Structure 1
Amino acid sequence: MTITTDELAAQPSAASSGTGPARLATGRRSVLRRLLFSQLSGIILAFVVWEVVPRIGLVPQRYIPPFTEVLPQFVTELGRAEFWVAAGNTLWAWAIGLGIGAVVGVLIGVVIGSSAAAYRATRFVLEFLRPIPSVALIPLAVLLFGINGQMKVSLVIFATVWPILIQTVYGVRELDPVARDTARSFGYSGWDVFWHVTLPTAAPSIATGIRIASALAVVIAVTAELITGVSGLGAEVLFAQSAGSSVRLYALILAIGIVSYALSQVIEAVERRLLRWHVSFRKEHA
């Protein structure tokens, strides 16, 4: 049986076209497995180091107890109603503060970024206020609101506004004038230009600002609770420290880290879902 040159040339093409989707799916599964393995390896390594360092005496166990002592206490905390009440209070401050901070930051950022004159006029004020740590404003917040949830939320709002505002300003200023002028030449109103041109251009930058602000909101909420004793996970850490219970202290710190990581993953998942149309996300999943 004779096989011609054309038939030989067609065989690889047919094989590749027939198995292309399968190969692509297999490749994606392989990448996911490697990614999951690398993440699990890093987590296991961190826990092993945590266990070994105090066991061999590099750090006294009364300061950093081994992981195998902290883990049972962490499980115990998960079964306590007080823990979930404290976690709910922290998450409430995170959600309200981040939500208000996002709305305020995006609105002001769009206004400033859309006008060169407004950008020049406010640049000094933004650069002056942005580095001020929210923790430094705790005494003022206590005087204004008292030691309560409003005080905590106000600090979270102040902390989260700046990264969102700055990212929004930069995102709006990256708008191509040609795209804006083209939209206007087709009869788009100012609102249409903003909704269909300006906002999609700035959306990735806004999403980055929200992702940064999300982690910052957890830090500020827990810090405010830790310093003032207002109800939340930070207050639970303060009580454990006051009682001299280092095991419970680190169990709560572990819980705070897990909560922060979970919130970060939720924010990233929402970002990928909402911005799957953007070129950066298409390249990432190509």
Structure 2
Amino acid sequence: MRLIPHRPFDSNTICGAAGVIGLLCLAEAAGRLGVISTAQMPLASAILATAAGLVTDLDFLADVLATAGGWALGLLAATALAVPAGLLLGSVPAIESSLRPLIEFLRPIPSVALIPLAAFVFTDRLEMKVAMIVYASAWPILLNTIYGLQDVDPVAKETLRAFGFGPLAVLWRISLPSTAPFIATGIRVAAAIALILAVSTELLTGGSRGIGHFILLAESSPDGLTLTLAATVWAGGLGLLTNGLLVLISRHVFRWHTTITEATG
């Protein structure tokens, strides 16, 4: 099998960057030509300039750190809960079958709709934010762990059992390494969901620092729309950064899985 090296700036990255730049240029042209009223949508250049200017705003940087901190705590807690639960459900079909109806009932409930309920349950805003992140982001990790276990090569497991290894040894030596790339994908999906819930919780409840809280306060300022969109750019940049880091980590740690996928694809 020929190893296929990964290039940090491949064609997909270049095309993605070109698409973003093209969209910004189109939005800027639409505003300057009067196709879109600048009262309803500020110029893209003004939004980007305001977003760049927020680098020197210490209060805003504290809000970014608050959002990132809640995001990290919630994602870590969701991973710590969902991975063991997924390993249990994926390893014991009887338990998975009995809990599947409950999972399918809870999973489609919009997490944002539960924020007002969580505000009554949790008095501390950070605890509420973390709890909402855990509830929303645990599902992709849980389901990917279960599906990953179902994709493990049965011949490899039977071979290990034939040599006298017990269930825990098979899980540790075969099932968990084979499932790890699926878990990593679930965490990457959950990271985006966690960021959405972090900002949404801050925006809907207030009372705590964060990008959502900054947007809530910006609405009452003269440049409220521009500040709101600039903060949104920061939220999107934070999501893009974390997703890129998780992709790089996954490709480095699971290089063997990436090589097999690229070679067979």
TM-score, normalised with respect to structure 1: 0.84
Residue aligning to 1:12: none
Matched, 1:233 2:203: no
- Decide whether the 8 Å contact of 1:272 with 1:281 is kept in 2: no
- Decide whether the 8 Å contact of 1:90 with 1:232 is kept in 2: yes
* Residues 89 and 285 (structure 1), Cα distance of their counterparts in 2 relative to 1, 3 Å cut: farther
User: Partner amino acid for 2:108?
Assistant: P
Residue among 80, 88, 92 paired with 1:111 = 88
* Residues 163 and 263 (structure 1), Cα distance of their counterparts in 2 relative to 1, 3 Å cut: same
What's the offset of the Cα at 1:72? 2.0
* Residues 116 and 283 (structure 1), Cα distance of their counterparts in 2 relative to 1, 3 Å cut: closer
Residue among 79, 102, 108 paired with 1:125 = 102
Q: Which moved more, 1:139-148 or 1:79-88?
A: 139-148
What's the offset of the Cα at 1:68? 1.6
SS in 2 for 1:242: coil
Residue aligning to 2:225: 246
Can you list the C-alpha shifts for 1:132-152, whole angstroms capped at 9, x where unaligned? 121111122111212511110
What's the offset of the Cα at 1:52? 1.8
Residue aligning to 2:253: 274
Can you list the C-alpha shifts for 1:93-123, whole angstroms capped at 9, x where unaligned? 1111001101111111110111111121011
Matches within 5 A, 1:198-213: 198-213=175-190
Can you list the C-alpha shifts for 1:45-97, whole angstroms capped at 9, x where unaligned? 01102212222333321221001211221121111111110011101111110
What's the offset of the Cα at 1:248? 1.1
Name the Cα RMSD after superposition: 2.2
What's the offset of the Cα at 1:157? 0.5
Q: Which moved more, 1:243-252 or 1:225-234?
A: 243-252
CA distance in 2, matches of 1:123, 1:37: 42
User: Partner amino acid for 2:121?
Assistant: L
Unaligned regions of 5+ residues in structure 2, if any?
none
TM-score, normalised with respect to structure 2: 0.91
CA distance in 1, matches of 2:41, 2:127: 34
What's the offset of the Cα at 1:153? 0.6
- Give the share of equivalent positions with the same residue, in percent: 34
Matched, 1:138 2:138: no
Residue among 121, 135, 148 paired with 2:125 = 148
Unaligned regions of 5+ residues in structure 1, if any?
1-23
